[in-house]
Amino acid sequence: MPENSPQDGRVTRTATTESARHRSDLAEYERSDGRPVFVLTRTELKLLGIAGVGFFLDAYDLFVINPVATMLQYRLYGGNHLPPHLEGFVKAGANIGSVIGQFAFGYAADALGRKAVYGKELMLIILATILTMTTPTGSLSPDHCLIYLAIFRILLGIGVGGDYPMSASITSDRSNLRKRGTMLAYIFSNQGWGSFMGSLITIIVLACYKHVMDGKGEVHKVDGVWRIVVGVSLIPAFATLYHRLTLPESTRFIASQKLKHANNAAEEGDAIAAIKRAQAAEDIKMGNLTPSTNNSSEGSDKDKVEDEIDELGSEQAFSTAEEEEVAPPEVLVKKKAHFKDFIKYFSEWRHAKLLIGTCVTWFLLDIAFYGINLNQNVVLQQIGYDGSDGSPWNRLFKISTGNMIITALGFVPGYYASILTIEKLGRKWIQIQGFLMSALFLAIIAGLFNSLSKPAFIVNFALLQFFFNFGANTTTYCYPAEVFPTRYRAFAHGISAAAGKAGAIVSALAFNSLSKDIGTPAVLWIFFGCCVAGAGFTLLLPEVKGRDPDLILADEIRIKREERERRERL
C-alpha cells in the first residue's frame, strides 16, 4: 500500500510533498533534447503558424488604421483632418471590441474547452474585415462613414481580443516546460511582422496607384487603396481558419479532463502517473521527444494515454463539492473552471496578487505603448516623415515609409531579443528592465523633445521601441499564460489582456486632446511614470521560468484537504 494512503483511507502529512516527489519524474519528460530552445520542431512551427497568425492580424489591423485614417482625410474631408472625436472613436474601436472578446473568449475557453471555441474568433475577424471594406464612402456623409467604420472595427476587435487568451492557452497547453516562454514569445512576435507588413503592403499598393493618383490627379482613387490594404489581411486569415477549427485538444488537456477521479487518496499516485503519460505523449506529438531519447517507453506511453482517453470516453470532470472532497489534486487542477470556482480561487490574496500584477502591468504598458504607436504622426513629424508637404500621394507614401522604418528599427529586433533570451534571463528580469529602459528613453525624448536632432530622435525612439518589445510588451503576454493553472489560465489571461486594452483605449481617446492641452512632452512624461510604476507592480509577480502552476495548485489543494481532515479527527 502506498505510504500516502493508510488503511483508514485518510491522507497523512507525507502527502503534502507528493507533487514535489514527482517533480523529478515530470522533469524527465521536460528535459533538454540537445537543441537550443529557440530551435523549433516541425510540429511546433506548425503550431506557430496556426496561433501566430492571430497576432499578425492583430498588429496589422490595429496599426494599419493610422495610414487608413490619413487616406480617409483625402477621400472624405478634402485633405483636412478628421473630426477629433470621430478619429479617436475609429482608432479606439478595435481596442474597445478587444476588451469584450478577451473576457468572453477567455471564459469560454476554460468553461467549454479550447477546441470548442478555437477558430470562432478568426471567423469574427474575417466577417468584420469584409464588413469594414464595405464602408459606403460614396453614399453616406463623411461623419457617418467614420461611425460605420468604427462600429465594424469594434466587431473586428472582439475577434482580435478573443485570440489573446485562446492562442496563449493553446500554446501553453502544448509547450514543453523548458520551451514554454520561447513558444509564447514566438507567437507574440508576429505582432512585429504584422505591423511591418501593414506598412509594406500600404507602400506597394500606393506604388501601384501612383500613376492614377499622382499622374492623373485622381486623389479620390485612394478609396481603393485603403480597401485593398485592409482586405489583404483576409489571405492569412482564410489560410489558417481550417487548421484552427480542426485543431484537436491537446493530449494533456483531454487526459486531465477525462481522468477517472480517485475514490480516496490512495489513488493519487495513479492520477499523477496518468498526467505524466499525457505530458510525455504531448511532447512526442510536438517533436520534443522520441522513443529513442528516453531509453524506455515514451512511444508506448502515448498509446497508453490515447487508450485511456478512449476508455474514459464521455466521463465528465468533477463538478460538485462532494467530488472535490475525494478527487486527487492532480485531476482537480485541470478540471474545467466555472465562474464561482474562479472567484473562490482568486479570493485568496496569494492568487489575487498575481492577477493584480498581470492586469496592472499590462494596463500601464499599453497606456504608453499604444499611446505612442496609435499616434505615430507626432513621431513621424519629428523625423520628417509626417507627410506635411508634397502631393497627397507623396504624403501618404512618406507616412507609410516612416511607419516601416520605425517598425524595422525597434519592433522586430526587440521581439527576437526576447525570444533568444527569455529562457535564460527569465520573464521577471526582462519585464523590469524593459519598463525601466523604456522609461529612460521616454525621459530623454520628453526632456529634449524640441532640441533633439533628427538622427538623435530616430535613435532614441528606435531604442524605446526595442525595449518595449525586449521587455514588457512581450512578457505581459507571456506571464498570464505561465503563472496561472490550466484550470483558470484562459479566463485570467483574458482579464489581464482586457486590462491592457483598457490602457490602450485611454491613450487612443486622450492622447490628442492632452497633447493640445498640456503639450506632447508632458504626455510623454505621463508615459514615463506609467513605465516606472509598471516596473514596481512587476514585483508582485514570481519568476515563472520552469514553474509549473498546476503542481503548485495540487499542493495547495492537498494541504487544505489534510487540514480539513485533521480538524475532523480532532
Whether the predicted pLDDT of 553 surpasses 50: yes
Give the model's confidence band at 12: pLDDT under 50 very low, under 70 low, under 90 confident, else very high.
Answer: very low
Rounded Cα gap, residues 240 and 245, in angstroms: 9
pLDDT 10s digits, 254-305: 655 543 333 333 344 444 455 555 555 565 565 555 544 444 444 444 454 4
Full DSSP string of 519-531: -HHHHHHHHHHHH
Q: Which residue has the higher pLDDT, 271 or 131?
A: 131
* 207: phi then psi, degrees, rounded to nearest 5: -60, -40
> Which pLDDT score is estimated for 492?
94
pLDDT over 50 at 315, yes or no = no
Question: What tens digit of pLDDT does each residue of 241-258 get?
Answer: 999 999 887 766 665 554
Can you give the pLDDT at residue 437?
97
- What's the pLDDT at 290? 53
Taking only the tens place, the pLDDT of each residue in 41-95 is: 888 888 888 988 888 988 888 778 878 888 898 888 887 888 878 887 887 788 8
Mean pLDDT for 189-217 is 88
Q: Which of 181-185, 384-388, 414-418, 532-536 has the lowest mean pLDDT?
A: 384-388
DSSP at 34: S
Q: Residue 420 burial by CB count (10 A; 0-12/13-18/19+): exposed, middle or buried?
A: middle
526: cell is: 505621463
Measured over the CA atoms of residue 350, residue 351, residue 352 and residue 357, the dihedral's sign is positive
Closest CA to 196 of 403, 16, 420, 453: 403
The three cell numbers locating residue 500: 491592457
3-state helix, strand, coil in the chain (%, to 5): 80, 0, 20
- 345-384 core/surface letters (b: 16 or more CB in 10 A; e: else): bbeeeebeebbbbbbbbbbbbbbbbbbbbbbbbbbbebbe
Return d(Cα 79, Cα 89) in angstroms, integer.
19
Q: How far apart are CA 108 and CA 113, in angstroms?
A: 7
What pLDDT was estimated at residue 332?
A: 53
> What is the spatial distance between Cα 246 and Cα 244, in angstroms, rounded to a whole number?
5
Q: In degrees, to the nearest 5, what angle opens at C-alpha 337 toward C-alphas 333 and 342?
A: 95
As a whole number of Å, the CA-based R_g of the chain is 25
Average pLDDT, stretch 162-187?
A: 89
Q: How far apart are CA 511 and CA 570, in angstroms?
A: 63
Helix (H, G, I), strand (E, B) or coil at 449: coil
Measure the CA angle with vertex 347, ends 344 and 353; round to 5°. 135
- Of 181-185, 323-327, 382-386, the range with the lowest mean pLDDT is 323-327
pLDDT value of residue 208: 92
Query: What SS3 state is found at 136?
Result: coil
pLDDT tops 70 at residue 513: yes
The chain-wide mean pLDDT, for the chain, equals 79
- The position carrying cell 470548442 is 116
Query: Is the pLDDT score of 310 beyond 50?
Result: no
Q: What is the pLDDT of residue 470?
A: 94
Domains in the chain: boundaries: 24-33+252-337, 42-250+344-550
pLDDT band at 101 (very low <50, low <70, confident <90, very high): very high
User: ∠ at Cα 359 (353, 361), nearest 5°?
Assistant: 95
Quickly state the pLDDT bin for 319 (edges 50, 70, 90).
very low
- Whether residue 89 contacts residue 488, with contact meaning beta carbons closer than 8 Å, is answered with no
Comparing CA positions, the residue from 449, 434, 413, 414 lying closest to residue 368 is: 434
- Per-residue pLDDT tens over the stretch 472-506: 999 999 999 999 988 888 999 999 999 998 998 88
Q: How confident is the model at residue 308 (pLDDT cuts 50, 70, 90)?
A: very low
* Count of H-run helices and E-run strands, the chain: 27, 0
Q: Domain 42-250+344-550 is of which CATH architecture?
A: Up-down Bundle (1.20)
pTM here? 0.81
Q: What is the pLDDT of residue 282?
A: 60
Counting every residue written for the chain, the total comes to: 570
Which stretch of 289-293, 363-367, 385-389, 550-554 has the lowest confidence by average pLDDT? 289-293
CA angle, corner 8, sides to 3 and 12, nearest 5?
Answer: 45
Q: Residue 333: is its pLDDT beyond 60?
A: no
Cβ contacts of residue 204 below 8 Å, gap of 6+? Answer: none
- For the CA atoms of 235, 239, 242, 245, the dihedral, rounded to the nearest 10 degrees, stands at -70
Percent of the chain with pLDDT over 90: 36
**pLDDT beyond 50 at 147:** yes
Band (pLDDT 50/70/90 cuts) for residue 150 is very high
pLDDT (0 to 100) of residue 401? 84
Place of cell 521577471: 428
Worst-scoring range by mean pLDDT, 7-16, 178-187, 269-278, 434-443? 7-16
d(Cα 274, Cα 264) in Å, to the nearest integer? Answer: 16
Element (H, E) at 455: helix 454-469
Name the strand (E) or helix (H) holding 365. Answer: helix 349-373
Within 13 A of 313's CA, how many CA atoms are on the CB side? 2
